[in-house]
Chains A and B, each alone.
Chain A
Amino acid sequence: MLTDYIALLPEFVLVLGILVMTLVKVFRHSNTPKTFYSLSRVFIFISAILTALFYNQNVGEYLRNNSYTTLFKILLYLFTFIICYLSAKRFVSKGLPSFSFYIMMLFNLLGYSIAISSWNLLPLCLGLGATFLGNIFLVKIEKPAEEHRHILYYLLLSTVVVLFMSLGAGLFYHYSQTLNYADLEQFLSLRSNLIWQHHLAFSCIVVSVLLMMGVAPLHFWFSNVVGKCILPVAAYLSVVPIFAYFSCLVNMCVNAFYPLLGWFNTVFIIFGILSIFIGAIGANSENNLRKIFAFSGLYYIGVTLLALFPINDNSLMSSFTYLLVYVVAICGVYTIFYGYRSKGKYLFNLDDIKGVATQRPFLSAALLVFMISLIGTPPLLGFLGKLSVINSLVIGHRYALLAVVLFSMLILAYAYLKIITVVYFEPRSNAFDIVDRGVYLCMFINIILMLIAIINPKYLMHDVELMLVAVF
């Protein structure tokens, strides 16, 4: 019946949006960069409303919606909207075509939306695989021919990842004849002897997701991609997909692969520790701002992993809080990057932003706020995340991990201090362009939300907790 698929309306709207944008691109010739932004925001907005409306509607045995999935989807829509808004400023100011970017926004939203709601390995692999593969179009935007080698590399990598994921799904289907989470979970828990193929299949799927997240030691692609692509793409890749991957990872681990998690917890911990260290060291080794924050993102993802596993409601809450706080701050950082322009060019080297605080004091102050939040220094929002994670580690009596997290944070803080020093203490070397009002607006809203969240977080945390436990 049609009503069984009514929960697919948001996805349908997104498909419609893609279609409309394609038609506009093909048949309308007087398109401006703002055209596709205007279109995309309409569809994103409608889709978001519908998502909230059908928050607990399932679609057969393939997709399941509840407060857990809705939470992540809404966050996805929200941050995508913000990225789209800010990116429009860039495309408009440069007068460059924006079709590829916005259509991929909608496409990715579609893929992630399906993946988040998936209750079956098939939509999961389809959703995540398509988006990961499809990111090639984002990476390719405005790239000259000489850099196609990197694009090819990414294409190869994404293909391998998708294949791995498919292999895992295929193996599971071969041995259990099902891809449904509940059935898989039942299958795996009832079997007394799990064979190595089950573990291999599980590993293939989970490791693929971890690679998509950019967790060490599978992080090698992320910083290069983020460092080389255009600012909107870098912002998008740093901010949005992580929610989708996190949500999918938790969902499948809790609902499908729980019996197999036992030994894999060690992998999560080792990957987490490696991510933390590599992220902290990597951030110190770079001069490219985006790469610095890409590596620092690796640190935060590592901490999230450490806090998440072994999964329980407390660890889920703490890791989600940490992740959310990180994303809010990194979104703020990229907002600031939209303001750092000189002679029409967006700056991304440390040396380019020397002494910017003397000319752009509010932007620099905001950057400082976001970076301090990333370190976890109170009284900013980052402290809430840090508190959640450290509390979780203490409750779990994992003091060694706690020491690792804190020590690495000091190394990471050194990298941020370098940026603060350059921004505030060095003499200015460039003249900076006037900043768009939209950037200030986003920055201001971000900071206000952070302040509200940190001053009175108990209501927000309570509601989030209720939504998260729906995954169990």
Chain B
Amino acid sequence: MATNFIFILLLSGILCFSAPKKQLGWMWHLPIFGALIYGIAALSDCFPYPDFAVVWEAMPNLSVLLNITPVAQTKELALGILILGAVCVFHNLVSADEQDKNTLNGLAVINIVLLLIALCSTNYFQLLAAVGMADVVVYGAINKYEAKRQYIYGNFLADFLLLNIFAIILGQHANIEIVSSGAYSTDWHHRDYIAIILLLCIFIKSGTILFHSAYQKMSKLNANRLNFILFLATPLMGAVILSILHDILDISRYSLPILRLFAVFTVIWGACGALIVKENHRKCAYMAMVFWGLYFCAFAWLSSLSPRSFIIFLGTAYLFNTALSLIHNSLSIKNRNSFISILTISFAAAGYMLAWWSFTYSNIILAIAGECVLCLLTSQVAFTIRTDYLHLSPFSRFWLSVTIIFGALAAFYFTPELPQFIPFLAVVAPVWIILVIFSPIAKVALRLGAENIQNNDLTTAMYETIILAPLQIIGRILRLTVDIVFLERTVISSVKNAIRFLIFIFRRLHANSVLSSIMFSLLGVLIVAVAYYNGVVK
């Protein structure tokens, strides 16, 4: 039953998260795997499950229907997320890099639950609650402070942008249901504003260009956490938001051009970054950027994007990144240039093949496989690689093999299209082999100093220089001028001086008792006389 499935998954995640590290170890993962398998079976229609919905009395005057029932469109995606989640959890469990497996996997499972809740939402509250809580969960998964700060700052803003959109909609329609596009386009105000804000939110979450710094900072994390976050956490949530709210984009004519622009530039920037940077984890982050850029490209240009395709390539990308982490760690320095060359060619090819983007990753994976084989067959260098390869842990070897097989399967899935690309392969493959040996592109790129650009966090620098610094200066100026000069020195000083003056006059008037007596008496007489004159004589 879906009901049981969701709660069992959540409970298993919480159990694993809060489990003591040193006792029972990996056995805390058994409930997770059990729940995952159960969920996969349920969503695969192995047995029927009832709808799950509960009315949440959010406030005295508001009841919200919480619905966690995947419909036909979302069922496939949900199933795919569960499968990928299982793969991720397994990888985290077997990886030697990750020390705190229980915590990470617990959070990963809770995040999956929240993704499913977001996916199944039919009202804004549920979506927003799931998005917000997912941010908190991922925040907990990031165990490096530098990465935490920028991540949560950006995602706070994204959540508030989302809240802003919903608040406008709520204010206009007084309705919290996510409705179809028909209702949006007719009588809405602030359409452009809403659409642009929505895109901004999605871009921040997915880490597109201008908003990728947070994920770059995450390169300090180990590979497990990094890849989990890059593919199965916040960026995926961004994609979920887009899939649920894509109708909103139709209300503005600026949506599509902006989406396309950001998508293309994200791909280009990510590709350049992946090529140029030496650091492995940063390379992974750029690769993720390429993936999500391509996803938005597909969204922008293709008429439809099937969930199955999306999941397969999401999985492929995740596996590729994981393999990338593993393989690169094992390669010696001398072969780095070759690797870069291969990547260069791969992305160049991808640039021509955007319409068949599914094939790109297949190509990449095949390229990696080819690289490994090539290295093994060559001389001394290959000997090193061979030795290293042989010295990889059994699980890594298994993993690498799985990657290669998965890639092949992905290619095989598109077998109907495959014959079209055999001529292409025939042309491109020799070129790859030549470039592997001579690696010219990487040499040119390094000579041009492109690495410096990629190494510097330009976006953060731009943000701090153009937005933050002026705001800080304005803040200081305002404090000085408004608070100190105007209020303190002008208004308050005037009042204080006036009182001081009156006291001074008072003291002078009362200094000499005889004189003051006479003066005040005369004043009294004068007052009486004037009053008499006005009141009686006149």
Contact = CB atoms under 8 A, between A and B. Distances in A.
In the complex, is A directly touching B at CB under 8 Å? Answer: yes
A285 B507 contact: yes
A411 interface: yes
Interface stretch (A219-227, A332-340, A383-391): A219-227
Contact of B528 (A153, A267, A411): A267
Interface string A186-226: 00000000101001000100010000000011111101100
Interface stretch (B72-80, B418-426, B515-523): B515-523
A303 interface: no
Interface in A266-306: 266-267, 270-271, 278, 281-282, 284-285
A263 interface: yes
Contact of A207 (B513, B516, B517, B528): B528
A249 to B, nearest CB: 15
Contacts of A218: 520-521, 524
Interface string A400-416: 00000000000100100
A264 interface: yes
A144 interface: no
B387 to A, nearest CB: 79
Contacts of A224: 513
B517 A220 contact: yes
Interface string A420-446: 000000000000000000000000000
Contacts of A266: 531, 534-535
B514 interface: yes
Given A220-B517, A284-B499, A411-B499, A263 B536 contact: yes
Contacts of B523: 217
B517 A263 contact: no
B189 interface: no
Contacts of A153: 513-514, 517
Given A207-B528, A263-B532, A263-B535, A219 B506 contact: no
Contacts of A414: 499
Contacts of A20: none
Tier of interface size on chain B: 20 to 34
Contacts of A60: none
A281 B510 CA distance: 12
Contacts of A150: 513
B527 interface: yes
Tier of interface size on chain A: 20 to 34
A217 B517 CA distance: 9
B520 to A, nearest CB: 4
A219 B506 CA distance: 13
Nearest to B514: A153
B531 A263 contact: yes
A217 B506 contact: no
A284 B503 contact: yes
Interface in A347-404: none
A219 B502 contact: no
A219 B520 contact: yes
Given A220-B516, A224-B513, A281 B503 contact: yes
B535 A262 contact: yes
B517 A221 contact: yes
A295 to B, nearest CB: 9
A157 interface: yes
Contacts of A278: 506
Given A217-B520, A224-B513, A267 B531 contact: yes
Contacts of B528: 203, 207, 264, 267
A220 B514 CA distance: 9
Nearest to B503: A285
Given A199-B536, A266-B534, A270-B527, A220 B520 contact: yes
B221 to A, nearest CB: 53
Nearest to A411: B499
A101 B502 CA distance: 38
A168 to B, nearest CB: 12
Nearest to A267: B531
Interface string B483-517: 00000000000000001001100110010011011
Contact of A220 (B502, B510, B536): B510
Contacts of B513: 150, 153, 220-221, 224
B250 to A, nearest CB: 61
B524 A217 contact: yes
Contacts of B520: 216-220
A270 B531 contact: yes
B258 to A, nearest CB: 58
A194 B375 CA distance: 130
A199 B532 contact: yes
A194 B537 CA distance: 11
A266 B527 CA distance: 9
B532 A282 contact: no
A465 B517 CA distance: 38
Contacts of B532: 196, 199, 203, 263
A196 B536 CA distance: 9
B517 A157 contact: yes
Nearest to A218: B524
Nearest to A284: B503
Interface in A117-169: 150, 153, 157
A413 to B, nearest CB: 12
A201 to B, nearest CB: 12
A281 B531 contact: no
A275 to B, nearest CB: 11
A217 B531 contact: no
Contacts of A217: 520-521, 523-524, 527
Contacts of A220: 510, 513, 516-517, 520-521
A199 B531 CA distance: 11
A271 B527 CA distance: 8
Contacts of A411: 499
A196 B528 CA distance: 12
A272 to B, nearest CB: 11
A57 B244 CA distance: 96
B527 A267 contact: yes
A221 B516 CA distance: 9
A348 to B, nearest CB: 18
Interface string B115-135: 000000000000000000000
B494 to A, nearest CB: 15
Nearest to B507: A285
Contacts of B527: 217, 267, 270-271
A240 B297 CA distance: 94
A139 to B, nearest CB: 14
Contacts of B507: 285
Nearest to A263: B535
B236 to A, nearest CB: 59
Interface in B199-228: none
A350 to B, nearest CB: 15
A199 B513 CA distance: 29
Interface string A94-109: 0000000000000000
Name the residue among A216, A218, A224, A285 with the largest chain B CB count within 10 angstroms: A285
B534 A263 contact: yes
A199 B532 CA distance: 8
Contacts of B516: 220
A220 B523 CA distance: 12
A72 to B, nearest CB: 26
A174 B425 CA distance: 136
A124 B507 CA distance: 35
16 contacts: A196-B532, A217-B520, A217-B521, A217-B523, A224-B513, A262-B535, A263-B531, A263-B534, A263-B535, A264-B531, A267-B528, A267-B531, A271-B524, A281-B502, A281-B503, A285-B506
Given A207-B528, A217-B524, A285-B503, 15 more contacts: A153-B517, A157-B517, A199-B532, A216-B520, A217-B520, A218-B524, A263-B532, A263-B534, A263-B536, A266-B535, A267-B527, A270-B531, A271-B524, A285-B506, A414-B499
Q: Which 3 A-B pairs rank lowest in CB-CB distance, beginning with the nearest?
A: A263-B535, A217-B520, A266-B531
Interface of B: 499, 502-503, 506-507, 510, 513-514, 516-517, 520-521, 523-524, 527-528, 531-532, 534-536
